Amino acid sequence: MTSINKKLSYYFSQALVKAFGSDFTEIDPLVSPASNPKFGDYQANIALSLAKKLEKKPREIAQKIIDNLFLEDLGETPTIAGPGFINIKIKTEYLEKEIKQQQNSANLGVEKAEIVQKIIVDFSSPNIAKEMHVGHLRSTIIGDSLSRILEFRGHQVLRLNHVGDWGTQFGMLIAYLEEVYPDALTTADALEIGDLVTFYKQAKKRFDEDNQFKEIARNKVVKLQAGEPQTNHAWQLLCEQSRREFQVIYDILDIKILERGESFYNLLLEDIVKQLEQQELLKEDAGAQCVFLDGFTNKSGDPLPLIVQKSDGGYNYATTDLAALKYRINQDQAQRIIYVTDAGQSNHFAQVFQVAKKANIITKNVEIIHVPFGLVKGEDGKKLKTRSGTTIKLRDLLDEAVIYARKDLETRLKAEDRQESEEFIKNVAQVVGISAVKYADLSQNRTSDYIFSYDKMLALQGNTAPYMLYAYARIKSISREGKINFENLEQDAQIFLKEETEIELAKYLLQLSEIIQEVEKTLLPNRLCDYLYELSKKFNRFYENCPVLKSEEPLRTSRLLLCDVTARTLKLGLSLLGIPVLERM
């Protein structure tokens, strides 16, 4: 199905050419849903932007566009408002026809991408020998949702987990464990992951304070890079243990991702330095090989260098990121690469991308995007931490969400005097708890910080996951009450839109494709959340004002079909956020 916005844009483009000539073929008519519904359903603002070019008043331009506009059966005769806004009201008959097509469509009429791309989404990226913490929450959830949306649009998406599994920290940890707990270097799971994290912190402290230990640790790195069997085996044991712990989190969150850590690119780092040297981009600074950057300066105002090879011959994150970029473009053949990391890394990626362009690693047909996000804060407005001041473990945060959801559910069941099985309670608590965490994150503009509150995210009212899940469950209760299988409704049954609330619901349902395309373009999942929230509100108003099961035919079947489209739209939208639905709550 072609969206209403797209059809209107086409009709207006045709009108512009008829009215003002072929020079106006490529001009965007600026069609969008109306900002004020009382004037219409859609508006075109092109007349105002053409005033200077045509040296005419916007209202005069608007009228000439309307005189050349042919909307077929889509809309009523447009009107002009204010200084020159063109307003269009969609015909009810057209809405009825389009909703019926949407109801008959397996993918609810959402258009597939006209040009299918190979897209890499780089997200999550925890560090080996450390536990995933609340800082990994946003990258993991946002990256997964963007991947789902891009996949649904038909793109070939490679989800990559660029884990920190190489470098000095491993020499440091292996050297320390050799002293205090050598079994951990020869025997799988000799330590709990929490103990491993504790030893890591102790190793880091020793590394910072003890020069002799620092030298031992660096020698371990050299052995690791040289592939020395004993050191390599110890490294693999540590990686495998961390990998299994990460997978527990990914299973809880229903995340599918391919690990390709820093070590994957290790053999490519030397070639990166050679390539930069051949293109005369390298300059030596304090013994290190650097590329000096445009637009970046230090506190003294001098040009800032990006170090690609340290004075001791070692490499760093920037070198690995350059190698990863080159591999992803040349070997993976990616046309769009999306990095989902916190806003604090914005400068790092801006610098790496600049060097990659100078070195011709990034080619003209490849789009590289950093998708930054803000912090998760506690209700005190400060960075979310435990009472002792340490970073909250992600597993603890998710477990707590499920506990909160269960308490809330049990309180509600008691108030309603409902008896449910342990299996039902456990499943609903799990789905609601995890979904609440995901939705609370995704419903915020990712560029902003947000306040983490179990009470707010588990509320049955407001822009929350439980509110969406409840709207879906309410529709399913209609099918149970009326003993109706939506799939068995007459395929050729017509849809009749009589009341204002059902007309408004139908109009909004038809915006689904536009919203998903907008998220694909802007990479802002909160736009989909906003849509689902507004859709749920419009459905509830429809449900309160329009009898469904008690209506006479053919209105009864028509309204059941409208309920079906709404339920399927909620289910699809939530699935693109990584949230499953519940038939009963």
Residue 112 structure tokens: 């597939």
Domain ranges, ordered by start, for the chain: 4-90, 168-259, 394-576
pLDDT digits (tens, 9 = 90+) for 149-171: 999 999 999 999 999 988 888 88
Report which of 490, 525, 533 is spatially closest to residue 508, judged by C-alpha positions. Answer: 533
> Measured between alpha carbons, how far is 425 from 427 in angstroms, rounded to an integer?
6
Q: Quick one: pLDDT at residue 388?
A: 61
Determine the pLDDT at residue 36. 81
What H or E segment, with its residue span, contains residue 415?
helix 394-415
Q: Round to whole Å and give the CA distance between 430 and 252.
A: 9
Contacts of 47 (CB under 8 A, 6+ apart): 58, 59, 61, 62, 65, 84, 85, 86
Sheet holding 31-33, edge to edge: 31-33, 42-44, 85-88, 79-81
Q: What's residue 196's pLDDT? A: 84
In the chain, which residues have pLDDT < 50? none
Distance between CA atoms of 348 and 350, rounded to whole angstroms?
6
> C-alpha distances in angstroms, 568 versus 500, 528, 549?
22, 15, 19
Q: Are 392 and 401 in contact (CB under 8 A)?
A: no
DSSP-assigned states of every residue in 85-115: EEEE-B-HHHHHHHHHHHHH-TTTTPPPPSS
Q: Give the pLDDT confidence score for residue 486 in this predicted structure.
A: 83
Note the CATH architecture for domain 394-576.
Orthogonal Bundle (1.10)
Q: Give this prediction's pTM.
A: 0.92
Triad 373, 142, 167: Cα angle to 5° = 75
DSSP H helices, 227-313, are 229-253, 269-278
Q: What is the CATH number of domain 4-90?
A: 3.30.1360.70
Structural tokens at position 373: 């996000």
At position 496, the amino acid (one-letter code) is F
Per-residue pLDDT, 387: 62
The CA-CA-CA angle for residues 205, 209, 215, to 5°, reads 100
CB 499 within 8 A of CB 545: yes
Q: What residues contact 446, with CB distance under 8 A and at least 6 apart?
A: 138, 142, 371, 372, 373, 374, 524, 525, 526
What pLDDT score was predicted for residue 313?
Answer: 82
Is 274 within 8 Å of 323 (Cβ atoms)?
A: no
Beta pairing class for 31-33 and 42-44: antiparallel
